[in-house]
Amino acid sequence: MQGRLSAWLVKHGLIHRSLGFDYQGIETLQIKPEDWHSIAVILYVYGYNYLRSQCAYDVAPGGLLASVYHLTRIEYGVDQPEEVCIKVFASKRNPRIPSVFWVWKSVDFQERESYDMLGISYDNHPRLKRILMPESWIGWPLRKDYIAPNFYEIQDAH
């Protein structure tokens, strides 16, 4: 079943894939990384003016990483704003996704956290660097194939 936004995107020739609806009836769409920035701008102009959250996760060991965006269309006089969930998948070998910082500035720290924990490079992000882990940290702690350093060996080395 196609949602309202998916139908609108199809009508305007914008490539995407509908992943269905969540338990609250919010449509989830998959957008290719190379299309994400231009579609993000279009969604903003269409009225999705609020980025509620961005997160990322490791889909499976050796597989894909997902960057997830929850967008809301806030309008005056509308009690129930429209929401959509966007998923952008990237290969673990070269996880690059265009940053949407210049569309929704609120994504700043959220994209940095996704970079820090999973290693997704957000192209054109103005300050893409570690935010939780020290700059000297090696690896991406939330990847399923991450092997944590042995804390006791680190302590003995000092």
Give the integer Cα–Cα distance in Å for 112 and 131.
6
Give the integer Cα–Cα distance in Å for 83 and 69.
10
CATH 3.30.430.20 fits 4-142, yes or no: no
- Rounded to an integer, the average pLDDT of 125-148 is 93
Question: Each residue of 64-83: pLDDT tens digit?
Answer: 999 999 999 988 877 889 99
3-state class (DSSP) for residue 54: strand
- Rounded to an integer, the average pLDDT of 79-105 is 95
Q: Does residue 96 surpass a pLDDT of 70?
A: yes
Strand residues in 6-157 grouped as ranges (E) = 17-21, 27-30, 50-58, 64-73, 82-91, 96-98, 121-123
Task: Determine whether 90 is exposed, middle or buried from the number of CB atoms within 10 Å of its CB (0-12, 13-18, 19+).
Answer: buried
* Higher-scoring residue by pLDDT: 148, 13: 13
- Rounded to an integer, the average pLDDT of 9-19 is 92
